[in-house]
Amino acid sequence: MTEDSVGNNMIACEYQPGLEGIPAAQSSISYVDGQKGILEYRGIRIEELASNSTFLEAAYLLIWGELPTKNELYEFQEDVRLHRRIKYSIRDMMKCFPETGHPMDALQASAAALGLFYSKRALDNPKYIREAVVRLLAKIPTMVAAFKQMRKGDDPVRPRDDLSYAANFLYMLNEQEPTPLEAHVFDVCLTLHAEHTINASTFSALVTASTLTDPYAVVASAVGTLAGPLHGGANEEVITMLETIGSVDNVQSYLEERLQRKERIMGCGHRVYKVKDPRATILQNLAEQLFKESGTDKYYDIALELEKAVEEKLSHKGIYPNVDFYSGLVYRKLGIPSDLFTPVFAIARVAGWLAHWKEQLAVNRIFRPTQVYTGTHDAPYIPMEAR
């Protein structure tokens, strides 16, 4: 059967805008039950991983399909630690980026540039796959922190080998060693954002991976998709919303005005979850821990009041806080600028993208969806003088 005949046969199928609800792949990486508020990585509940695991252990689980042994985890952590530095050519390239450029654009360009230095494509070689996984997990945080420093005219802060994955990023970002609680909270945040089935950026990664290009291009394409405000930028917009509200006393009027205009409440509602996002519950607990150690945040009180009001008015529609509702408050308390919220999301989601990349390679078939043609046929060509 030719490609054209496949397309013609598929016209009879029902068109779903955005492919909503249409399975695009089979996967054993993660599972979501939006009615019950369940998220699992390889069958393990996210609450269990947040309480007992670390981000790199969760990344290993996602990518290789099972929890590592003590030796396997140690070797993986050491490999990542030894590859945190980026080549001076990439640093020099990043110094040429405009200071006003968005960090997500800088990250996409930098991730793609990694492929120039590691251009060999041995996609059937386990050693190559492991090396690519290690490099991307190790270097993406360094590039995010480096751009934050360089756009101010400062040199990047060198990684510290004596710090954990999460603590090292916060150190490179602020040139100040975080407290143990801050490092722990950020590590849990990374774990929560590491994977979430086939969302827009993961689908972008799958489509790119199916062409058998290199993994750096796969991650760069996913970063570009995540950068869109309908996907990765919501936590930044939550902070803007809370600042606009300004006071607990203004919550009800703000919500009423938004609902009357039929506008979204940022950080509330989810395409899948019809109950409170389990990651939001975990993040809320982390926020409270942070505030106890380093002082409260008045915007947290606004967020609590807004959640209560949203539940009263919108719970019957299945609208509750999602992962973005509290993550921005946590990130800001950790000294992360708001325009770096989405790049931080990307640091975590690299694990999920790579897991899907590796899974795609095992059963690869290039993505080639069809379309429903809505144009005309046999239209005449009109000469220039007659137009």
Q: What is the DSSP string of 35-77?
A: TTTEEEETTEEHHHHHHH--HHHHHHHHHHSSPPPHHHHHHHH
Distance of CA 122 to the CA centre of its chain: 26
Q: State yes or no: is 270 an active-site residue.
A: yes
Q: Are residues 40 and 164 in the same domain?
A: yes
At residue 13, the pLDDT reads 67
pLDDT confidence of residue 20: 80
Cα(first)–Cα(last) distance of the chain, in Å?
A: 40
Structural contact between residues 85 and 158, judged by C-beta atoms closer than 8 angstroms: yes
In a domain, 264, yes or no: yes
Does residue 216 contact residue 128 with C-beta atoms inside 8 Å? no
Whether the pLDDT of residue 221 is over 70: the answer is yes
What is the rounded average pLDDT for all residues in the chain? 93
Query: Do both 190 and 252 map to the same domain?
Result: no
Q: How far apart are CA 239 and CA 297, in angstroms?
A: 12
- Counting Cβ atoms within 10 Å, is residue 7 exposed (0-12), middle (13-18) or buried (19+)? middle
pLDDT at 97 over 70: yes
Residue 295 to residue 96: CA distance in whole angstroms:
38
Q: Which two tokens stand for residue 361?
A: 């390679």
Residue 92 inside a domain? The answer is: yes
Task: Indicate if 137 and 186 belong to the same structural domain.
Answer: yes
* 15, part of any domain: no
| Predicted pLDDT at 121 | 84
Q: How far is CA 283 from CA 191, 226, 236, 348, in A?
A: 11, 21, 15, 15
Span 218-234, average pLDDT: 90
In sign, the C-alpha dihedral spanning 321, 327, 330, 333 is: negative
| 126 shares its domain with 238 | no
For 329-365, the pLDDT digits (tens) are 999 999 999 999 999 999 999 999 999 999 999 999 9
Residues 152 and 184 in one domain: yes
CATH number of the domain that residue 127 is part of: 1.10.580.10
Cα angle 374, 376, 380; round to 5: 160
Q: How far is CA 335 from the centre of its chain?
A: 19
Identify which of 299, 269, 283 has the alpha carbon closest to the alpha carbon of residue 344.
283
Residues 142 and 287 in one domain: no
What's CA 67's distance to the chain center, in Å?
A: 22
Query: Would 196 be classed as within a structural domain?
Result: yes
* Burial zone of 387 (CB within 10 Å; 0-12 exposed, 13-18 middle, 19+ buried): exposed
pLDDT band at 18 (very low <50, low <70, confident <90, very high): confident
Structural domains of the chain, count: 2
Res 375: pLDDT: 96
Mean pLDDT, residues 74-98? 96
- Do both 117 and 265 map to the same domain? no
Per-residue pLDDT reduced to its tens digit, 268-318? 988 889 999 999 999 999 999 999 998 888 899 999 999 999 999 999 999
CB–CB of 343/144 below 8 Å? Answer: yes
User: Among residues 187, 214, 277, 324, which one is catalytic?
Assistant: 324
Is residue 138 scored above 80 in pLDDT?
A: yes
pLDDT beyond 80 at 125:
yes
Tell me if 153 is assigned to some domain. Answer: yes
Question: Are the beta carbons of 32 and 38 closer than 8 angstroms?
Answer: yes
Is residue 151 in some structural domain?
yes
Q: For residue 55, give its domain range.
A: 30-214+340-363
User: What's the CA gap between 80 and 292, in Å, rounded?
Assistant: 32
What average pLDDT does range 101-126 have in this prediction? 93
Q: Which two tokens stand for residue 199?
A: 């969302």
Half-sphere exposure of 106 (CA within 13 A, CB side): 31
pTM: 0.92
Question: What pLDDT score was predicted for residue 2?
Answer: 42
Q: Is the pLDDT of residue 8 over 50?
A: no
Share above pLDDT 70 across residues of the chain, in percent, rounded to a whole number = 97
For residue 290, the domain's CATH number is: 1.10.230.10
Query: Exactly one of 193, 196, 270, 356 is catalytic; which is it?
Result: 270
**Do 303 and 192 sit in the same domain of this protein?**
no
Please indicate, yes or no, if residue 85 is contained in any of the structural domains: yes
- Residue 18 domain-assigned (yes or no): no
Same domain, 115 and 263: no
Pairing type for strands 44-45 and 38-41 reads: antiparallel
State how far the alpha carbon of 51 is from the alpha carbons of 7, 37, 58, 180, 185, in Å.
48, 17, 12, 15, 11
Asked if residue 81 and residue 194 are part of one domain, the reply reads yes
324 included as an active-site residue: yes
Residue finishing a domain among 313, 332, 351: 332
